[in-house]
Copies of this chain bind each other. A is one copy, B any other.
Amino acid sequence: MNRPAYTVEDVVKLLGVTPRTLHYYEEVGLLEPAARTQGGHRLYGEDTLERLHHILRLKDALGYSLQEIKSILDTEYALDKLKAKYKNNQSAENRDSILEESILEESIRLLEEVLQRVDDKLSRLQTVQKNIRDRLEKIQALRDRTTTTKSHS
Contacts and interface: CB of A to CB of B under 8 A. Distances in A.
Contacts of A76: 135
Given A104-B146, A135-B76, A146-B104, A121 B86 contact: no
Contacts of A146: 86, 97, 100-101, 104
A126 B150 CA distance: 43
Given A105-B143, A122-B122, A139-B104, A57 B111 contact: no
Interface of A: 54, 57-58, 60-63, 76, 79, 83, 86, 97, 100-101, 104-105, 107-108, 111-112, 114-115, 118-119, 121-122, 124-129, 131-133, 135-136, 139-140, 142-143, 146-147, 150
